[in-house]
Amino acid sequence: MIYTAIDNFYLPEEQIKNSPSRKDGIDETTETTLRIYGCDLIQEAGILLRLPQAVMATGQVLFHRFYCKKSLAKFDVKIVAASCVWLASKLEENPKKARQVIIVFHRMECRRENLPLDHLDLFSKKYSELKVELSRTERHILKEMGFVCHVEHPHKFISNYLATLETPPELRQEAWNLANDSLRTTLCVRFRSEVVACGVVYAAARRFQVPLPENPPWWKAFDADKSGIDEVCRVLAHLYSLPKAQYISVCKDGKPFTFSSRSANSQSQSATKGRSKVGESDREKERGRERDRASSRSHRDRGRDSDKESDRERDKLKERSHHRSRDRLKDYGDRSRHHSSRDRDYRESSHSSKDRRSRHH
């Protein structure tokens, strides 16, 4: 017998509104913002890790399902997002190491929160703590899911629906983009994938003004209802009206989670000082450039002085060699004159001896 996994994790809207985060005093706006922020982290991390879109989609669905069971006040969105990426990469058979996930989230946090990019050593205490926290959060996710992590995405239905409706090809990309954006909302835990797929097809057709058959209604053939399609379009319209999501610390202990090797308080203080002293930092940079230029000028001056000293030394050496050559030439001339006078005396003495012998004979 062959068993097939069924994606049956769907909750009514009332239960989502009474989520554990809401019971801990977190308002709807803050919860929505943090859900969008966590999904943005998952999407960006998946791109940096070069993972396929299916991994990011699975991670975002697991993220929403987990916060339907647990509160944002007990589990920070940063570590939960990282654990969802790590778990989804293994579920979709594109596994990544914990080291890669931690480094990517560390760099994203430094860039998003204007923090200095410090060196996260693999053998440091902070890295060991992050790896333990990543594994611990993954176990919490698996426990809350009952180790049933099958996810069915609306993407696989979109192509079939559009081919059946014989729509233009540009409608497919728009519907895929809307399906990716729908994963930032709670639609994946409220409606089946077929309903979400029909909703994004309907929204894409309305944008490109492509008529769809309504007699009989086209959504009836795909096992969807009009109320679900309208709700999908409404939630997507509300998502696009919201500003960019920012991180909000809602932990009960008051200490925001951080992937940086520095403490959260020192990071926030350094970020605040950095933003408040932009002009001062610019002046420090200008003074540093002035010191560099002054040091380069002093180096050039010392180089010129050394060149002059070397020229003087060369002149002295030339002069000394000239004097030595002149002295050698003088000695050679004296020796030559001495030898020539000695030869002359010898010739004269030999001539005189010859004359004496000739007179004797």
CA-closest candidate to residue 63, choices 135, 151, 3? 151
Q: Chain-wide mean pLDDT for the chain?
A: 80
pTM for the predicted model, two decimal places:
0.70
246-299 pLDDT tens trace: 998 888 766 778 887 654 444 444 444 444 444 455 566 566 666 666 666 665
Band of the pLDDT at 1, cuts 50, 70, 90? very low
Highest mean pLDDT among 82-91, 274-283, 352-361: 82-91
The lowest-confidence range among 36-50, 66-80, 114-128, 297-311 is 297-311
Q: What's residue 243's pLDDT? A: 92
Measure the CA–CA gap between 183 and 196, rounded to whole angstroms.
Answer: 10
Q: What's residue 265's pLDDT? A: 44
Quick check: bond before 216 cis, omega within 30?
A: yes
Query: Percentage of the chain surpassing pLDDT 90?
Result: 43
Q: What's residue 13's pLDDT? A: 83
The answer to whether the beta carbons of residues 109 and 101 sit under 8 Å apart is no
Band of the pLDDT at 228, cuts 50, 70, 90? very high
Highest mean pLDDT among 195-204, 257-266, 343-352: 195-204
Measure the CA–CA gap between 354 and 359, rounded to whole angstroms.
Answer: 9
Query: Percentage of the chain surpassing pLDDT 70?
Result: 68
The residue behind tokens 């009989």 is 216
The lowest-confidence range among 6-10, 67-71, 254-258 is 6-10
Q: What's residue 258's pLDDT? A: 83
Band of the pLDDT at 176, cuts 50, 70, 90? very high
Measure the CA–CA gap between 244 and 81, rounded to whole angstroms.
Answer: 17
Instruction: Show the 3-state SS of the chain.
Output: CCCCCCCCCCCCHHHHHCCHHHHCCCCHHHHHHHHHHHHHHHHHHHHHCCCCHHHHHHHHHHHHHHHCCCCCCCCCHHHHHHHHHHHHHHHCCCCCCHHHHHHHHHHHHHHHCCCCCCCCCCCCHHHHHHHHHHHHHHHHHHHHCCCCCCCCCCHHHHHHHHHHHCCCCHHHHHHHHHHHHHCCCHHHHCCCHHHHHHHHHHHHHHHCCCCCCECCEHHHHHCCCHHHHHHHHHHHHHHHHCCCCCCCCCCCCCCCCCCCCCCHHHHHHHHHHHHHCHHHHHHHHHHHHHHHHHHHHHHHHHHHHHHHHHHHHHHHHHHHHHHHHHHHHHHHHHHHHHHHHHHHHHHHHHHHHHHHHHHHC
The lowest-confidence range among 39-48, 51-60, 68-77, 243-252 is 243-252
Examine the pLDDT at 226 and tell me if it is beyond 60: yes
What is the average pLDDT across 333-358? 58
The lowest-confidence range among 10-14, 220-224, 234-238, 321-325 is 321-325
Examine the pLDDT at 202 and tell me if it is beyond 50: yes
Examine the pLDDT at 179 and tell me if it is beyond 50: yes
319-337 pLDDT tens trace: 766 666 666 656 656 555 6
What is the average pLDDT across 120-140? 85
The lowest-confidence range among 43-47, 97-101, 112-116 is 112-116
The lowest-confidence range among 30-44, 200-214, 216-230, 347-361 is 347-361
**Token digits of residue 48:** 């940096």
